[in-house]
Amino acid sequence: MIEHNNILNTSIETKEYSTLNLGPTHPATHGIFQNILKMDGEIVMSAEPTIGYIHRAFEKIAEHRPYNQITPLTDRLNYCSSPINNLGWHMTVEKLINCQVPKRADYLRVIIMELSRIADHVICTTIIGQDTGATTGFLYFFQMREKIYEIFEEVCGARLTTNIGRVGGMERDFTDVAWAKLTIFLKEFPEFLTEFQKLIERNRIFMDRTINCGPITAEKALSYGFTGPNLRAAGVDYDIRVANPYSSYQDFDFSIPIGQNGDTYDRFMVRIQEMWESISIIRQAVDKIPKGAFHAEVPEFYLPNKEDVYSKMEALIYHFKIVMGENTIPKGEVYHAVEGGNGELGFYLISDGGRAPFRLHFRRPCFIYYQAYPEMIVGGLLSDAILTMSSMNVIAGELDA
Amino acid sequence: MENLTNETSQVVNPHFELLLKVETLLKAKFGVGILNSELQYDFPVFVVEKAIIINVLEFLKTEPELKFSFLTTLCGIHLPENKGAEFAVMYQLHNMEQNWRIRIKITMPNEDIKVPTAIGLWPSANWMERQEFDFYGFKFEGHPDLRRILNMDEMNYHPMRKEYPLEDGSRDDKSDKMFGR
């Protein structure tokens, strides 16, 4: 009898969990970061994220570079929407030196920033589709990002890491080709977006996979520092373009789409609707754009024309001073935030009057909200965890700085 | 006359109004614990005693008239020239309903870079504090998981401190003595 009991005891299956390394390099994580998951079959029991694989010490480098050489660093934060980072940085310096940018430059910047927002959202929304198995939408809609990059190329010569704009305005006005490409884009994009929405939005498989997948309440989202589309999907209508308008956003009429459940489907839908709003903003900017200068008269910061450098003493001096980082910079502390593709992208700058910032801190939205990821996926399926990550749009460059 | 116009223009400034409002409430609650307050560009900035920082943050978060319920960011600052207060941490708070933003700062000497953690108030402070620990070595007391986050675990120094040069120290083509800071 006793023997029999012993046999029973040993034959009871003890609960065993398996450990799964999701990443660092895995096609479904869309970036280099690792999650060590404790799995009960297909259910995630706990997650331990490790980040920092592409940390490039931007805050340290920024303390050793003149202000104009910091712009390329900001390119590499959220590289899906570099121009927003570039222009956000320029605006921070403009705030420090108290420089008023002309309206035309503001409008040109708005066009550029909204195009980048669309590019950013194109990536995120198509990737959500891709991760639910809808590759068609991804390949089809991604053509639009190419069109946006062509416009960037026409404006600044670069496509991905743009280094667009300068302190005081834009480096050059849009060319006729750029305007023509923009016009074609404004005509084509709505068709593509409508088609993409038709393909995905009410698709039964897509809805089953995304609704109630990785939800977060508004309260939790706020306590975890969510901003941008992910916060708006949870139902909080916070958008810096409205709360603290910069670059003349107050001149435009647009609404802030919000979700209700904060799940993957809502994050997807908020981004889709934001693309429509962005298109509307670009249209308004194109219609209303005033004539005039595309940069402010700040010779200490804005590089003079090359012809002037060769023929005018003053221009030569300014050119030399800007290139060598010899211009006088006021002392002070500023914080400036812009609505990046993923939320509040803030620049906290302390200047001690030196040629390089004394301290430059980037408030990187991805870095702050990614810490909520374990909480969002625990108790769900592994496949939901993948979808939740793609819908949060974590960009490794911004995460790791 | 000049002073007068200056004052009226400052009173109209909403950021200055906010500074006065928060300053009054903070001083009423914490008295001498509030060391300094000033307006820096569009930000009211308060320097407070390190020992009461969590109480101050909690008060700012919960006080019905203020409700700074969102932690925008926090970061460390190293000021080696500033003897006796070589390190600082700044917190940036946001009241989204009223769209008020303020900055709170604490300073501390080299020998004592222990800071109470703000995780109890905002879970988002977790990684932000880990990052500043990684960069500067701040000991966030009460932090459940104070490990490096961006740099590798084997690193034996805190790279954002000013004494560590960015590039090879023997190079002098970019040194401050050639061009000034």
Task: Answer whether A363 sits within 8 Å of B72, measured CB to CB.
Answer: yes
* Sequence-separated (6 or more) residues with CB below 8 Å from residue A179: none
Whole-number mean pLDDT of chain B? 87
- pLDDT of B71 > 70? The answer is yes
Task: Answer whether A52 sits within 8 Å of B152, measured CB to CB.
Answer: yes
pLDDT of residue A4: 54
B5-35 per-position pLDDT tens digit? 444 455 578 889 999 999 999 999 998 989 9
> How far is the CA of A138 from the CAs of A122, A132, A150, A211, in angstroms?
9, 11, 19, 20
Task: Answer whether B180 sits within 8 Å of A350, measured CB to CB.
Answer: no
Task: Answer whether B73 sits within 8 Å of A348, measured CB to CB.
Answer: yes
- pLDDT of A82 > 60? The answer is yes
State ipTM: 0.89
Nearest CA in chain A to B122: A223
Least confident window among A28-32, A239-243, B49-53: A28-32
Do the bridges between strand A359-363 and strand A343-351 make them parallel or antiparallel, or are there none, so unpaired?
Answer: antiparallel
The answer to whether A331 faces chain B, any CB pair under 8 Å, is no
The answer to whether B95 faces chain A, any CB pair under 8 Å, is no
Cα dihedral sign, A200-A204-A205-A211: positive
A290-310 per-position pLDDT tens digit? 999 999 999 989 999 999 999
Cβ atoms B136, A359 nearer than 8 A? no
Task: Answer whether A359 sits within 8 Å of B77, measured CB to CB.
Answer: yes
A148-203 per-position pLDDT tens digit? 999 999 999 999 999 999 999 999 999 999 999 999 999 999 999 999 999 999 99
Task: Answer whether A243 sits within 8 Å of B96, measured CB to CB.
Answer: yes
Residue listed under structure tokens 């981004």: A271
pLDDT of residue A27: 72
Domains plus CATH for chain B?
Answer: 2-161 (3.30.460.80)
A86-108 per-position pLDDT tens digit? 999 999 999 999 999 999 999 99
- pLDDT of A28 > 80? The answer is no
Task: Answer whether B131 sits within 8 Å of A344, measured CB to CB.
Answer: no
Task: Answer whether B180 sits within 8 Å of A332, measured CB to CB.
Answer: no
The answer to whether A192 faces chain B, any CB pair under 8 Å, is no
Structure tokens at A25: 């390099």
The answer to whether A64 faces chain B, any CB pair under 8 Å, is yes
Q: How far is A134 from chain B (nearest CA, A)?
A: 33
DSSP assignments along A135-164, one per residue? HHHHHHHTHHHHHHHHHHHHHHS-SSS---
Residue listed under structure tokens 């040629």: A355
DSSP structural state of residue B64:
T
A219-250 per-position pLDDT tens digit? 999 999 999 999 999 999 999 999 999 999 99
Query: Across the interface, which of B73, B123, B152 has its CB nearest the CB of A223?
Result: B123
**How much is the pTM?**
0.91
SS3 A315: helix
Cβ atoms A98, A179 nearer than 8 A? no
CA dihedral B111, B113, B116, B121 (to 10 degrees): 160
Do the bridges between strand A359-363 and strand B100-108 make them parallel or antiparallel, or are there none, so unpaired?
Answer: unpaired
At A25, the pLDDT band (50, 70, 90 cuts) reads confident
pLDDT of residue A327: 81
pLDDT of residue A16: 86
Query: Across the interface, which of A244, A324, A361 has its CB nearest the CB of B99?
Result: A244
Domain residue limits, chain A: 47-400
Cα dihedral sign, B65-B67-B72-B77: positive
DSSP structural state of residue A64:
T
Closest CA to A30 of A365, A380, A392, A272: A392
More confident site: B169 or A99: A99
Greatest Cα pair distance in chain B? 63
Task: Give the CATH fold of the A47-400 domain.
Answer: Cytochrome-c3 Hydrogenase; chain B (1.10.645)
Task: Answer whether B45 sits within 8 Å of A367, measured CB to CB.
Answer: no
Q: At what angle do helices A264-288 and A176-200 cross, to 10 degrees?
A: 150
Query: Across the interface, which of A52, A344, A367 has its CB nearest the CB of B72?
Result: A344
> From CA A357, how far away is CA B181, in angstroms rounded?
9
The answer to whether B178 faces chain A, any CB pair under 8 Å, is no
